[in-house]
Amino acid sequence: MSDSATLINPATGRAIREVPRADVDEVDEAIARAVVAQRAWAAGAPLERADALRRFARVVEDNVEELAQLEVLNSGHPIESARWEASHVAQVLNFYAGAPERLSGQQIPVGGGLDVTFHEPYGVVGIIVPWNFPMSIASWGFAPALAAGNAVVLKPAELTPLTAIRLGELAVEAGLPEGLFAVVTGSGSVVGQRFVTHPDVRKVVFTGSTEVGVSVAAGCAQTLKPVTLELGGKSANIVFDDADLELAAASAPGAVFDNAGQDCCARSRILVQRSVYDRFLELLEPAVRDWRVGDPSLESTQMGPLISASHRSSVASFVEGTNVAFRGTAPDGDGFWFAPTVVLAERGDRIAQEEVFGPVVAVLPFDDEADGIRLANDTIYGLAGSIWTENLGRAVRVARAVKSGVLSVNSHSSVRYWTPFGGMKASGLGRELGPDAAEHFTETKNVYFAADA
């Protein structure tokens, strides 16, 4: 028998709904149904899978507003961001709806016959999702996994399951076979862990903290189960003295405070060349003070609350004892509010090394190009980063030298569904999205046909 968890609206602190917490037997039942559904799904023509995913995309498009409102309620995302996230899910589905007919193998020259390769689906894929971008991160896994002929069991984060639950219903409404895409709510240590240990889950995709990611990978190693990990970050926003400083400063708050800093790609370290350090801070201050924090249901809001009371305490603990340069504003009262905060940091400080996952940015000076690169690489992470310079040669050199999976020059872009995304070092293993993602949900089979038998 499953028990339930109470969901809280982070903007008000009030309870909104009870959601079941599955036990191991219920997880096993979902996996058993997925095994059956997957066989029929993979046996169908590629066009059938493509059409089904296009229908799923259309149903999501028709329900963007409902999904967005659910995310505002459950996660405190500003409504405009939530609408973008829901539309993004439809776009990801549409993009990978093109994959079933493009999963071509190879024909390799051999003597005495014919040699061909097939991209075989794994079977059932387990996807474990965090609370920061509940819908979009889920779709990065389930869309390409389904396109490649797999079934999916998806575990949303305990705090934010509402949009995932609704996506599971919309999949059935769109005509996807019953059991093919199952959303199983519950705790990480029960549901997530069962994906890791169950022999019929043949691949795991995990997004979350580096600590849990390492334990998921260790568990998957026991059964030689491939795993994709999207983990933490401490990404650098590197501002050189030849940059367009006005533009760099104006865009810096959005690069770290979007989603209240609860973003694995948040540019949570701003590294500024010493010769323009003071000028940059002068320009940054009004941009931070103007960052609009408040009611997430308003279209003018740029940043909502943090996800929970305990996460707010954790974020606050990072700021204690630091040198705060200036702060933005946040509402008082109920809800897990935290004002955008700019800290002047030294190399080696905890605030310059660890992922805060909140609206806190550390600013550090550097001397020259080599020093800037050294500082950018001076954390265990390597997910994203931005480079601000008007010097093309420098942009090329620095982009090649910074050890991050995703970099952006004179902008802060990180995720486009048609380009690869993922981290180096402690930020992860494997890549999601981009042109090859469906193939990552397959195993290559090589078959030799003897012609002279």
Give the residue numbers annotated as catalytic, written as ranges: 230, 264
Phi, psi at 94, each rounded to 5°: -60, -40
129 scored as a contact of ligand TXE (CB under 6 A): yes
Span from 63-71, 99-107, 211-219, 359-367 in contact with ligand TXE (CB under 6 A): 211-219
* Binding of ligand TXE by 131 (CB under 6 A): yes
Query: Closest approach of Cβ 154 to ligand TXE, in Å?
Result: 10
Query: And the tokens for 346?
Result: 């030294």
Alpha carbons 85 and 25: distance in angstroms, whole number: 33
Q: Shortest Cβ distance from residue 158 to ligand TXE (Å)?
A: 6
- Residue 106 CB burial class (10 angstroms; 0-12, 13-18, ≥19): exposed
Of 153 and 196, nearer to ligand TXE (C-beta) is 196
Q: Which is nearer to ligand TXE, 185 or 273 (CB)?
A: 185
Q: What is the dihedral of CA 131, 137, 143, 145, to 10 degrees?
A: -90
| Cβ-based nearer residue to ligand TXE, 258 or 355 | 355
Ranges within 138-157 binding ligand TXE (CB under 6 A): 155, 157
In whole angstroms, how far apart are CA 228 and each of 121, 127, 140, 326? 15, 9, 12, 38
Q: Applying CB under 6 A, which of residues 103, 182, 216, 429 lies at the interface with ligand TXE?
A: 216
DSSP assignments along 243-259, one per residue? S-HHHHHHHHHHHHHGG
Binding to ligand TXE by residue 215, rule CB under 6 A? yes
Count of residues touching ligand TXE (by CB under 6 A): 25
**Residue in 158, 200, 242, 371 binding ligand TXE, rule: CB under 6 A:** 158
As a three-state string, the secondary structure of 6-34 is EEEECCCCEEEEEEEECCHHHHHHHHHHH
435 near 418, Cβ under 8 Å? yes
The answer to whether residue 202 forms part of the interface with ligand TXE (CB under 6 A) is: no
Q: Which of residues 342-381 bind ligand TXE (CB under 6 A)?
A: 355, 357
- Closest contact distance (angstroms) between CB of 210 and ligand TXE is 7
Q: What's the min distance (Å) between Cβ of 125 and ligand TXE?
A: 14
Q: Is 7 in the site for ligand TXE (CB under 6 A)?
A: no
Binding ligand TXE (rule: CB under 6 A), the pick from 2, 117, 209, 410 is 209
DSSP annotation of 176: P
161 binds ligand TXE (CB under 6 A): no
Partners of 5 in beta bridges: 19
Which structure tokens are listed for 188? 């990480």
Compute how many other C-beta atoms are within 10 angstroms of the C-beta atom of residue 64: 18
Please, which residues have CB within 8 angstroms of residue 161's CB and are 6 or more apart in sequence?
7, 19, 74, 134, 183, 185
Given the rule CB under 6 A, which of 23-31, 212-220, 234-242, 286-294 is the region that contacts ligand TXE?
A: 212-220
Q: Does residue 90 touch ligand TXE according to CB under 6 A? A: no
Determine the Cα–Cα distance for residues 387 and 134; give it in Å rounded to an integer.
28
Nearest 5°: phi and psi at 153? -110, 125
**Ordered DSSP codes for 279-302:** HHHHHHHHHHHT--BS-TTSTT-S
Please report how close the Cβ of residue 31 comes to ligand TXE at its closest, in angstroms: 14
Piece in contact with ligand TXE (CB under 6 A), picked from 210-218, 238-246, 288-296, 413-421: 210-218
Which residue in 232, 294, 328, 422 binds ligand TXE (CB under 6 A)? 232
Q: Does 192 bind ligand TXE (CB under 6 A)?
A: yes
Q: Does 405 bind ligand TXE (CB under 6 A)?
A: no
- In the DSSP assignment, the letter for residue 188 is I
- Least spacing, CB of residue 39 vs ligand TXE, in Å: 26
Q: Which residues would be at the binding site for ligand TXE (CB under 6 A)? A: 128-132, 155, 157-158, 187-189, 192-193, 196, 207-209, 212, 215-216, 232-233, 264, 355, 357
